[in-house]
Amino acid sequence: MNSLRDIWTKRFQHYMMEQQRYLKYVFTGHLAIVILFVIGAGGYSYSEWLKVVPDTFPAALLVSVVIGLLLTMGGPVTLLKEADIVYFLPLETKLMEYLQRSLSWTMSSQVFLSVIAGIVAVPLLNTVEGTRGISLFIFFVAIFVLKWWNVHTDFSFRWVNDGHGVWGDRVIRFLLSAAALYFLLIEAWLLLVMIALPIIFYAYVWMGRRGKNPFPFEHFIKVEQNRMLRFYRFANYFTDVPHLRGSIRRRGWLNFLYSFISYGQKNTQTYLVIRTFIRTDETFYLWVRLTFLSALGAVFIPIPIVAVIFSGALAFAATLQLKIALGAESTFRMDMLYPISESTRRKAVLKIVRGVQWLSAIILLIVSFAQPAYGNSVWLLPVIVIIISEATLRLSK
């Protein structure tokens, strides 16, 4: 039998190949353009805001809360499979040889988000709090230490409690992490030492008890399955994932929308496509998320040209992904049994995507009135959404 170290290595290699298999379709030229626009718009807006940010702005508190959330969220990456309940049972006493490698990967793969957030926060901290030099160095060291503490404490808590009460543990870890970062940023060293004591004690309690309970294989296997399912759902926005089965909800409160489609053979595909859009979680929530982000940008970005770039990038992303998702060809669909031209489905997809993007434009127009900086330019955002959406529908394959 292979050692647990070899098993982890082989599974990790397969996991990385699986990630690369789908990520190559995700990070294409289209998405690169969107990311470039979003980063450029966000960076420009951020730099302009820093010029006028008041000295009373709670920068340390905001940064502590945001990074505290990033440190707290994210579960363990174990790469466990259902068969391991039986396969690993005789090796349970040596299981930590496998799990230590999974915890190391969890730490290294998740900490970069917190580090990036810290790097973005540095100009704000310099401007408002005057944080620089050795304090910033200690700040980033604290991010790594707190992430290690969160990963190992979360893992131990799940082990001891068989996965129960996870959200309560997250709240406690968030409060302790955010408080430690806040006291560090305001250089309240005595309070930092005082908050370090419960942090150490909390980890000691759960890490000391985890070996006394049987390892909860079922919980960690379920966590791993859900984690991979989220990845496959994300990848499915960009390419077909054959073994993925999307979740479906009826959403009866939207049934009135079907009445806008007149009864007739020529509207068959239109009816089927709109039902697919409304009832499929992946497509429906994709549109809701991107529309919500556009609305937030319209309300909180005070520079019209930046808001236009931001909204245009999200409109491009929403249109392209909806067109791909709704137009994906299935091996067999029930409508293939009926004498309906294949071209009608493509036309129906374009019609529905165009319709929901017009709805996004209307929502954007309404929320734009909440931003006084736009003045007479409130019409710019909905117009750019319509133009970008139409261009994407016509020019994309």
| Amino acid in position 1 | M
Q: Residue 29 corresponds to which amino acid? A: G
Q: Which amino acid is at 76?
A: P
Contact 344, 266 (CB under 8 A): yes
Residues in the chain: 397
Structure tokens at 366: 């309404």
Q: Which residues of 53-87 are buried (b: 16+ CB within 10 A; e: fewer)?
A: eeeeeebbeebbbbbbebbbebbbbbbbeeebeee
pTM confidence score: 0.72
Residue 341 is given by DSSP the state -
Q: Which residues of 151-186 are buried (b: 16+ CB within 10 A; e: fewer)?
A: bbbbbbbbbbbebeeeeebbeebbebbbbbbbbbbb
Number of Cβ within a 10 Å radius of residue 383: 15
Which tens digits make up the pLDDT trace of 166-200?
A: 999 999 999 999 999 999 999 899 999 999 999 99
Q: How many CB atoms lie within 10 A of CB 338?
A: 8
Q: What is the pLDDT of residue 70?
A: 94
Question: Which residues, given as ranges, of the chain have pLDDT below 50?
Answer: 1
- Strands (DSSP E) contained in the chain are none
Quote the pLDDT of residue 28.
66
Q: For residue range 259-279, list pLDDT tens digits in order.
A: 777 777 677 788 888 888 888
Q: What is the pLDDT of residue 160?
A: 93
Q: Report which residue type is found at 147.
A: K
Q: Which two tokens stand for residue 115?
A: 């580090």
Q: What is the pLDDT of residue 214?
A: 87
| Closest CA relative to residue 282, chosen from 332, 230, 317, 243 | 230
CA distances from 250 to 62, 253, 259, 260, 270 (A): 39, 9, 16, 18, 18
The answer to whether the CB of 312 falls within 8 A of the CB of 388 is yes
Give CA–CA dist 251/287, Å, rounded: 15
Given a contact cutoff of 8 angstroms between Cβ atoms, the answer to whether 145 and 85 are in contact is: no
Q: What's the pLDDT at 30?
A: 58
pLDDT of residue 1: 47
- The secondary structure element, H or E, covering residue 267 is none
In contact, 360 and 291? CB cutoff 8 Å: yes
